[in-house]
Structure 1
């Protein structure tokens, strides 16, 4: 129900509307002429204004202009006699929501009012969602402070304001869609649509219909015209996820959109033009697919104007605990369950795990742990990452070393074990030593003697030979 103002100098009509709309549950005020209506608009807010077009003093056009100036979201419906329909149409061009021709039934007016209220509700919902999305994709809200993530965000900030095509590469679950959203919502196109399509989720004929739309009768089951995603994204951004799974036919059509900004709907002959920024993502090796003839070389180079490499979670271990804490806060609200955080053993286990499923796997792990946890903190047992090798585990659970028939130097096996332990512990030597059940001093000595190089920004401790046991 809404607040409604009725402005009409015809007493019987105005009072009839007042009775009918009040009976329908609306809160209604009345004004006997245009001047009185304008006074009420200065004093109050209304969801809908019903105004006669021709009144003594200020007319309906004056009421419309005042309403647009004071309350842009208020819907104005004009009531007009037959001879002034053209004026009512002109009024719609400058912002009137609709008009109704006299004489009319109260039911007709109620339908128009309900439509106006529904449009108003949808606009408010859209504004809320856009504001929420803007908040989600704000750079300050992206969780993580690792050097690997900072390098990604540096590129995103540089390219966001342009219309450049961007190709985002990375393993499944690394956050490619989040980065695509950040690019759009921090661009000059942020007020327009951000349309997402997963190219791997649809068969070829369905994907083309999804992207470009189709005309009625284009294929069996096409009983009406359908607007495609590119039309929906006009003026905004299109995000094509898993673009490496696209057929050669669809690749050719995407290339045409990138080059000519035009396409036809399936079954259609009319050429449509769009202004769309394209962001693509893939977890596949596109250069290798180009060499194998599985992906168009010309499309690859059109997509690869700016390339962003998303680091896997195992390469940004510094972010794991903060990401886990973010998921705990979210699931605590959804599940209405108070969990204060992770205990020390749980944090250590999260840092040691290799996360083949990346952030998505971490998110699922935390959700499961939240459901299973019985205390106020998540423990290592709640995480159910029992397949992860830990220091001090039973010898029968030790991984089998694969020795090739030609043999392998023991130093190479040691070097591989040390590097894996260092990666699992985010290159913290003390934690890596604990994984291998050796002392930090022995760990440091072997790193130096085996010539293990640390990543840039990491540094091995000074060499100190292990002290021999007293005889």
Structure 2
């Protein structure tokens, strides 16, 4: 049950509020002076404060309430405070709202509006507390990842990236083949590096082969090696990637481009650890951890007869799905800052432009855009125009979307009036629906000439 502290020198007010809130399962504590109220806050948990603006019969200035709010806000900055004020004190109440007060209620109050305001603020406060606990837990988990594992300098802040990273650490302990899926430029090779760096074969070599960058007739030689004379131009024997990766990890990028003949031989190696060089009858034995990656839809390739189903299931003992950068919006700015030289920084408008862009080329595109902007921009602060991005884009989903949307289009009079009507005039609820802080809503209402009462 939430607890509200009522700070008011009038016992009748305290009793009325206690009865009102008890009808809605809200516990009420009363203090009859600012000093008593601060003492309550110091010794017991309180979820919300309702405070009067005057505490002596010979004063109506509201100065006591202003001083009390300042003390509460300084000692408990996240605690919501609702001001009870007479009409003559509305201006000072509005000033306190701008200073961080949650809301104000005019005396005599409307029971329904007061309960609605308090209930909404309690709900928002509980959500913030839960978010704070979630962020603290996320910080602890991130610290543990960075402290206990070799993350190969990976830069991330988004929860989606952390889930993939945590799973990569977990699967690195086994010897099972891992398939990393995701679009080009999303960072699949970095995940492969992390798997190797935290595996039992981390002291062995990490060998990479891009199956999409070689002609089909050379891939088998690259994988398994070739004896002298095995094909035109093979003047001497050469070892393949499997031999080079013996005792370590072999990373096969763009595995979907491997020709069927190579797929058959790869399957045999995965099952037996044995293979033959091209032009040789001697079998060789290796111990290799295989991590593969693709941006292709392998099940569709299987249906088309271009990829072996048995190889797919052999490679896909564990699949790690790396989302595109547009689905990891909290990674965008940390990555952008990482790609900048130490003497450069991003302006606020530049950050908003980066968050609005959809990044079809993913991390690789972001790196190129930022590094090009740093090269071409003469000023320490990188301007949005230096990015060379389209000016109108849909913001990527997630936390950055609300921020960029607010910067592009503020709610108009009709939006605000409709939100206020749906919220029954409760400003905190209307602000939340519009995706604004209460202070931002007040400024917008002042600009549009809308009455706050």
The TM-score normalised by the length of structure 1 is 0.56
Distance 1:375 1:161, change over 3 A: same
- Is it true that 1:442 corresponds to 2:423 in the alignment? no
- Report what 2:244 is aligned to: 232
- Counterpart-to-counterpart distance in 1, 2:264 and 2:152: 38
- Counterpart-to-counterpart distance in 1, 2:450 and 2:197: 66
- Report what 2:159 is aligned to: 147
- Is it true that 1:366 corresponds to 2:370 in the alignment? yes
Distance 1:443 1:241, change over 3 A: farther
Tell me the number of residue pairs that the alignment of Structure 1 and Structure 2 aligns: 286
- Report what 2:283 is aligned to: 271
- Report what 1:388 is aligned to: 391
8 Å CA contact 2:327, 2:396 repeated in 1: no
- Counterpart-to-counterpart distance in 1, 2:272 and 2:313: 16
Name which of 194, 204, 229 aligns with 1:217. Answer: 229
- Counterpart-to-counterpart distance in 1, 2:395 and 2:368: 25
Shift of 1:145: 1.8
Question: What are the residue-to-residue correspondences of 1:43-192 with 2, within 5 Å?
Answer: 138-139=150-151, 141-192=153-204
SS of the counterpart of 2:266? Answer: helix
Question: Residue by residue, what CA displacement relative to the aligned partner does 1:77-119 show, whole Å, maximum 9, x if unpaired?
Answer: xxxxxxxxxxxxxxxxxxxxxxxxxxxxxxxxxxxxxxxxxxx
Shift of 1:317: 1.0
8 Å CA contact 1:424, 1:432 repeated in 2: no
- Report what 2:357 is aligned to: 353
- Counterpart-to-counterpart distance in 1, 2:188 and 2:383: 30
- Counterpart-to-counterpart distance in 1, 2:163 and 2:399: 22
Name which of 401, 424, 432 aligns with 2:405. Answer: 432
- Report what 1:315 is aligned to: 327
Distance 1:470 1:438, change over 3 A: closer
Distance 1:138 1:315, change over 3 A: same
- Counterpart-to-counterpart distance in 2, 1:202 and 1:209: 10
- Report what 1:325 is aligned to: 337
- Report what 1:344 is aligned to: 348
Larger relative CO (CA 8 A, sep 6+): 1 or 2? 2
- Counterpart-to-counterpart distance in 2, 1:208 and 1:279: 17
SS of the counterpart of 2:320? Answer: strand
- Counterpart-to-counterpart distance in 1, 2:364 and 2:152: 21
- Report what 1:375 is aligned to: 379
Shift of 1:463: 3.9
- Report what 1:398 is aligned to: none
SS of the counterpart of 1:263? Answer: strand
Give unmatched runs, 5+ long, in structure 2: 1-145, 423-429, 436-440
Question: Residue by residue, what CA displacement relative to the aligned partner does 1:241-277 show, whole Å, maximum 9, x if unpaired?
Answer: 0000111101001100100111100011101111001
Shift of 1:139: 2.3
SS of the counterpart of 1:167? Answer: strand
Shift of 1:440: 10
8 Å CA contact 1:433, 1:439 repeated in 2: no
Shift of 1:436: 4.9
8 Å CA contact 2:229, 2:235 repeated in 1: yes
Say what the alpha-carbon RMSD is for the aligned residues.
3.1
8 Å CA contact 2:268, 2:275 repeated in 1: yes
- Counterpart-to-counterpart distance in 2, 1:280 and 1:444: 55
Shift of 1:470: 7.4
Give unmatched runs, 5+ long, in structure 1: 1-133, 333-337, 391-419, 450-459
Question: What are the residue-to-residue correspondences of 1:297-308 with 2, within 5 Å?
Answer: 297-308=309-320
Shift of 1:316: 1.1
Name which of 255, 258, 261 aligns with 2:273. Answer: 261
Shift of 1:437: 5.9
- Counterpart-to-counterpart distance in 2, 1:161 and 1:444: 58
8 Å CA contact 2:180, 2:322 repeated in 1: yes
- Counterpart-to-counterpart distance in 2, 1:205 and 1:140: 34
- Counterpart-to-counterpart distance in 1, 2:364 and 2:294: 16
- Counterpart-to-counterpart distance in 1, 2:281 and 2:356: 58
SS of the counterpart of 2:202? Answer: coil
Shift of 1:462: 4.5
- Counterpart-to-counterpart distance in 2, 1:293 and 1:462: 53
The TM-score normalised by the length of structure 2 is 0.58
- Is it true that 1:207 corresponds to 2:219 in the alignment? yes
Distance 1:439 1:313, change over 3 A: farther
- Report what 1:42 is aligned to: none
